[in-house]
Amino acid sequence: MMTTASKPIEAVGQWWRTIAAAANQHASLEAARDFGEGWASLTPEPGGVDYIEVDAGGVPALWVVPKQCATERVLLGFHGGGFFTGSMYTHRKLFAHFAKAIGCRALILQYRYAPENPYPAQLNDALNAYTWLLDQGIMAPHIAFIGDSAGGNLCITTMLLARDRGLPLPAAAMPISPWYDMEGVMDSLVYNQGKDLLFTKEWVQAIAGMYLGAQGNPRDPYANPLYADLKGLPPIYLQVGGDELLLNDSTAMAELAKKAGVDVRIDIFPGMQHTFQMAVGRAPEATDAVERYVAWVKPKLGLV
């Protein structure tokens, strides 16, 4: 399914240009992380939401609690940032918009960063937090996963690991501009070069190396789920911008899921940049995209 959006959201585009310029100046890892904290400026406050820090099975996390929400329904949120930056704070407003519109709580993780903690540290943190939610009495069918970019990777890989360890699976997953291809072989890395205002193929490959570490396997299905058997996973809804270098990560995942018998939907937004949904409440294209997710997931959580 395609949207009719016709141009990039300037706020997102300008932010990515600034990030890319900083990267080209060979800023330090810490400088990139500090700069990345400004990511939160893309998203306006939704209002009517409380934030509570919590230890989620040994993983720092942030509860997002809209007023008068259904507390027994939960979004488990995985923030983006290439596994080396971003935080529960940079993404609290984005996931709060989702939680408020859906009428549920959200739990946003602060997983460990690469390269200090390479794969599978982030996946282990995600599974630990999911297990903690289950231990709190939240039923698996009342949980949905959501994540952008690297967080979109964790949406799928955490379900795979949970399935393979015999845990009950969540009701649904909503990857936003997800990153799966750890080999750097997708065609969109070439044909969208220059259209994507953030990434280059070389940068994507470098971040993958940082995430996997010296001993990492770019075809490990728990890191690169394009090599995984997706059989038995719950419904998946992918959104991706048409100008992204990571476009084919989503299209390949949709095809793989379909072949495995998974209920999958993908919306490609022409002209849109990576994680343009961060501008929800400010740009109509982003608000429309979030509203599509909300309408899709509410019945899966029993909130209609």
Q: Are strands 172-176 and 236-241 parallel, antiparallel or unpaired?
A: parallel
Active site residue 26: no
Selecting among 91, 142, 149, 188, the annotated active-site residue is 149
Active site residue 79: no
Active site residue 244: yes
Selecting among 142, 244, 250, 285, the annotated active-site residue is 244
Active site residues: 149, 244, 274
